Amino acid sequence: MRYYYSAEAIRAAEEPLLAALPEGVLMRRAAYGLATAIARELGAVAGKNVCAVVGSGDNGGDALWAATFLRRRGAGASAVLLNPDKAHRKALAAFLRAGGRIVETVPAATDLVIDGVVGISGSGPLRPNAAEVFDAVDKAGIPVVAVDLPSGVDGGTGTADGPHVTPAVTVTFGGLKPVHALRDCGRVELVDIGLDLPPSPLAAFEARDVAARWPVPGPDDDKYSQGVTGVMAGSATYPGAAVLCTGAAVAVTSGMVRYAGSAAQQVLSQWPEVIATPGHATAGRVQAWVVGPGLGTDETAAAALCFALETDVPVLVDADGLTMLAAHTDLVADRRAATVLTPHAGEFARLAGSPPGQDRIADTRRLADRLGVTVLLKGNVTVIAEPGGPVYLNVAGQSWAATAGSGDVLSGIMGALLAAGLPSGEAAAAAAFVHSRAAEMSARDPGPAPVPTSSSRILAHLRPALGSIL
């Protein structure tokens, strides 16, 4: 599991170390890790030139100490002091003793810039003098290594309201911060400085977490015990939604998939193993329902949604189901079984009364708590919040999944996991992980260079994606 920590949690974990260690040891420990990461980025240190852009906080001290270590290994080192009177005194003294130079602007011959302007507690855009420095760095094409986080970017929300640093690498200490998932920070390297951090309520699944939870049939399992997924999706207008959603459920489970709806003929032509009926009244027993993709919003669709929500099994509501639910959120108020809503930003706005703002984590958690359901807010960084529980992030790292019908595939995966008995938050996190991996694999098939993909291709790559994980 990859955990993300607030600035307050990191500061609290640092306090015992700061009290136990001699003054400055923890900063130099962090700076040595920073210098090591910079050396890897440079490839060779001797003969290279680095320039630290230094603010007034501890990040400025980290940057000066790292530049000092690199100078001692043969690099040329310079520093732009944005606030000379507030620069870290001991780090600055060591830097000057090692032969570092104070400059007004980043020298043209610089091979790499160290962003030591703002730390994890900072907020707001770069101030004019810093913005001017990094504008020149960008125009010169000099790579930047950010200390802890890119300056000008909010550490908790990943938002940037003005000038900010765009690094090639971000080196952070002790624990990851939300910004490292929510914003493109370049390659993120985590330096262990000895903090004792407990698991955080903000986390992201890794492949091993998916593998540990994925339902794998045992010797005594049969098609029923592995979970029966029910799907109510598709219509005369959108039969493809039914095909994609049921196909995804078939691809990720060895149990059974039941389809109830008007696209039964199209579904069976693609997936003959599906048990298809014209409506929910004859669908038979299931362990979870997926309702909404391409379903429409007429009376028949509304009856299907109400039927599913009145059952005692987990229900995933997506697409048209969310449109109907937005007008009748009381339908989920007293459900005892898990309910999962999977909105994109527009659907989220209809459910919550306003679109997700800069703090997508807080907004998603707020909606989950208000409705008493698990909410999966779609996006390049998917946010999954359980009511009163943890929040999971899934960082796709690309937008190949942003294609028509992709959400139908995701719903089918998640429905199968709910039917197999996974808790709703874990089912959503695991499904999002597999879905994004399948999207990336589909974009890179047949070669390493990515090409445009489609939901049908994502569906076709679900089993290879699972194979790479399991």
Cα gap 406→382, rounded to integer Å: 14
Is 380 among the annotated ligand-binding positions? yes
Average pLDDT over residues 30-50: 96
Handedness of CA 255, 420, 361, 363 (dihedral sign): positive
Q: Same domain for 142 and 53?
A: yes
| pLDDT-based confidence at residue 430 (cuts at 50, 70, 90) | very high
Is 369 among the annotated ligand-binding positions? no
Is 121 among the annotated ligand-binding positions? yes
Is 122 among the annotated ligand-binding positions? yes
Cα gap 128→64, rounded to integer Å: 22
Q: What is the pLDDT of residue 400?
A: 75
Is 119 among the annotated ligand-binding positions? yes
User: Of the residues 199, 218, 242, which one is the last residue of a structural domain?
Assistant: 199
> Whole-number mean pLDDT of the chain?
96
Q: Same domain for 408 and 430?
A: yes
- State pTM to two decimals: 0.94
Is 24 among the annotated ligand-binding positions? no
Q: Is 269 exposed, middle or buried (0-12, 13-18, 19+ CB in 10 A)?
A: exposed
Q: What is the pLDDT of residue 91?
A: 97
Is 49 among the annotated ligand-binding positions? no
The sheet carrying 187-191 orders its strands as 101-103, 76-81, 49-54, 112-116, 144-147, 169-173, 187-191
Q: What is the pLDDT of residue 344?
A: 97
Cα gap 436→462, rounded to integer Å: 10
Is 413 among the annotated ligand-binding positions? no
**HSE, side-chain direction, 13 A CA sphere, residue 396:** 20
Burial 54-86 (b: 16+ CB within 10 A, else e): bbbbbbbbbbbbbbbbbbeeebbbbbbbbeeee
Beta bridge partners of 441: none
> Of 330, 284, 341, 280, whose CA–CA distance to 308 is shortest?
280
Q: What is the pLDDT of residue 93?
A: 97
Is 90 among the annotated ligand-binding positions? no
Is 148 among the annotated ligand-binding positions? yes
437 sits in which H/E element: helix 424-443
Is 128 among the annotated ligand-binding positions? no
Q: Same domain for 364 and 251?
A: yes
> Domain limits at 32?
2-199
Cα gap 425→390, rounded to integer Å: 8
CATH of the domain at 232: 3.40.1190.20
Q: What is the pLDDT of residue 254?
A: 79
Locate 409 and state its tokens: 């595939």
Cα gap 90→175, rounded to integer Å: 25
> Of 125, 161, 185, whose CA–CA distance to 4 is shortest?
185
Is 115 among the annotated ligand-binding positions? yes
Is 58 among the annotated ligand-binding positions? yes
> Of 348, 231, 352, whose CA–CA distance to 290 is shortest?
231
Is 328 among the annotated ligand-binding positions? no
pLDDT at 397 over 80: no
Is 124 among the annotated ligand-binding positions? yes
User: Of the residues 199, 227, 260, which one is the last residue of a structural domain?
Assistant: 199
Is 47 among the annotated ligand-binding positions? no
Is 241 among the annotated ligand-binding positions? yes
Is 151 among the annotated ligand-binding positions? yes
Is 407 among the annotated ligand-binding positions? yes
Count of structural domains, the chain: 2
Question: What confidence tens digit (pLDDT) does each residue in 118-169 have?
Answer: 988 888 999 999 999 999 999 999 999 999 999 999 999 999 999 999 999 9
Q: Same domain for 181 and 211?
A: no
User: What percent of the chain lies above the pLDDT cut of 70?
Assistant: 100
Q: Which position has the token pair 């005594």?
A: 220
